[in-house]
Structure 1
Amino acid sequence: MSVATADRSRIDLSSKTALLAAGDLGGILLFVAVGEYTHGYNPLVDVGRVAGTFVPFLVGWLLVAGVAGLYASDAPGTLANATLVTLLSWVVAVAIAQALRATSVFHGDAALTFAVVSVVVGGLLLCGWRVVATMALGR
């Protein structure tokens, strides 16, 4: 099996997976926007700051979600599997985001407290979305 074949089996380009991806990215963006707001920034005005916080999480999520099969043809799968895979993927994505934030490319740093908040709050948003999506898609 070639790498291209393996990649295609993990990512299905369909309206269902596009919906899943849109919900995932919306959840991550909501997490970031609310976080920026609680720290005194207006997400509608400080768009550059929000984008600078969002991008490391986006990169982490995109690197992990495809490999984890969250956009495969059989996604979201069973309710338990969808929730577990989403949460584990998010934990790894947060680790990647924190590593990126520790560089000079992105603002912020790799704070343990922010990592914990990211896992908990972002994980609740993503898992909640995936539960709704799994139920709506009839799995």
Structure 2
Amino acid sequence: MATASEFLDRRVDRGTLPLAAGDVFVVLAFLYAGTLRHETVGFPPTADGLVHLAGVAAPFLIGWVLVAVPVGAYSPGAGESAKASVPLVVRSWIGAAVVGLLLRATPLFSGGVEPTFAVVMLVVGAVSLGLFRAVALRLSS
């Protein structure tokens, strides 16, 4: 049976760490854009606004941590080409968004799960992350 260390060695390539940082930035950026759109956080954000943004982002970042590594978003080869990387990040986001939406449906997180919000999260997140990966890998080659 594989140990956790062996699993991580197969699923995480240190060379993809810049992609991981970019992925988290993209998720936070589109969530911040949504809070701006709905005027729940202003620009520049106040301390209260940042706390609100953290509450909005937390379930989706938890989902990202739980899903991205097992799906292979940072596996060897994920940082080599957009052809390999974009499908991995989109599949990871779909799973992460579902986890995030399920968490928002619990009393642990506020916000609820309106169907329109769920669709926007799935589509905007997948497109944003896919575009980021495509551009980042294009620029790095």
Q: Fold match, TM over 0.5? A: yes
Q: Please say if residues 85 and 133 of structure 2, whose CA atoms lie closer than 8 Å, have aligned partners that are also in contact.
A: yes
Percent same amino acid among aligned pairs?
Answer: 35
Aligned to 2:39: 40
Q: Please say if residues 10 and 69 of structure 1, whose CA atoms lie closer than 8 Å, have aligned partners that are also in contact.
A: yes
Render the CA deviation track for 1:64-110: whole Å, top value 9, x for unaligned: 11011111232224322321221121111111000000111111112
Over the residues paired in the alignment, what is the CA RMSD in angstroms?
1.5
Correspondence for 2:82 among 66, 72, 79: 79
Give the alignment's TM-score, normalised by structure 2.
0.88
Counterpart amino acid of residue 9 in structure 2 = R
Aligned to 1:18: 17
Moved over 3 A (4+): none
Q: Where does structure 1 lack aligned partners over 5 or more consecutive residues?
A: none
Q: Please say if residues 66 and 96 of structure 2, whose CA atoms lie closer than 8 Å, have aligned partners that are also in contact.
A: yes
Aligned to 1:115: 118
Asked if 1:133 corresponds to 2:136, the answer is yes
Correspondence for 1:99 among 84, 99, 102: 102
Give the alignment's TM-score, normalised by structure 1.
0.89
How far, CA to CA, are the matches of 1:42 and 1:114 in structure 2?
17
Q: Please say if residues 56 and 100 of structure 1, whose CA atoms lie closer than 8 Å, have aligned partners that are also in contact.
A: yes
Aligned to 2:3: 3
Counting matched residue pairs gives 136
